[in-house]
Amino acid sequence: MMNIAVLVSGGGTNLQALIDAEKNGEIKNGKITCVISSNPNAYALERAKQNNIKTVVLNRKDYDDVHKYSADMRDTLLAEKADLVIYAGFMTILDEQVVKAFPNKMMNVHPALIPSFCGKGFYGLHVHEAVLASGVKLTGATVHFVTEECDGGPIIMQKAVEVKNGDTPEILQRRVMEECEWKILPMAASLFCQGRIKVNGKITEII
Q: Given the rule CB under 6 A, which residues bind ligand GAR?
A: 10-14, 44, 88-89, 109-111, 123-124, 127, 177, 181
Q: Closer to ligand GAR at the Cβ: 89 or 153?
A: 89
Q: Closer to ligand GAR at the Cβ: 29 or 50?
A: 50
Strands 2-8 and 30-37: parallel
Least separation in angstroms between CB 195 and ligand GAR: 25
For residue 19, how many other CB atoms are within 10 A of its CB? Answer: 21
Asked if 110 is an active-site residue, the reply is: yes
| Residue whose CB is nearest to ligand GAR in the complex, by number | 89
Reduced to 3 states, what is the DSSP secondary structure of residue 76? Answer: helix
Least separation in angstroms between CB 177 and ligand GAR: 6
Please identify which of the residues 67, 110, 126, 128 carries the catalytic annotation: 110
Amino acid at position 40, single letter: P
Least separation in angstroms between CB 92 and ligand GAR: 10
d(CA 35, CA 124): 20
Strand locations in the chain (E): 2-8, 30-37, 54-57, 84-87, 106-110, 138-145, 155-162, 197-200, 203-206
Q: Are 190 and 26 in contact (CB under 8 A)?
A: yes
Q: Closer to ligand GAR at the Cβ: 116 or 194?
A: 116
Least separation in angstroms between CB 37 and ligand GAR: 10
Helix, strand, coil: what percent of the chain each, to 5? 35, 25, 40
Q: Closer to ligand GAR at the Cβ: 27 or 127?
A: 127
Active site residues: 110
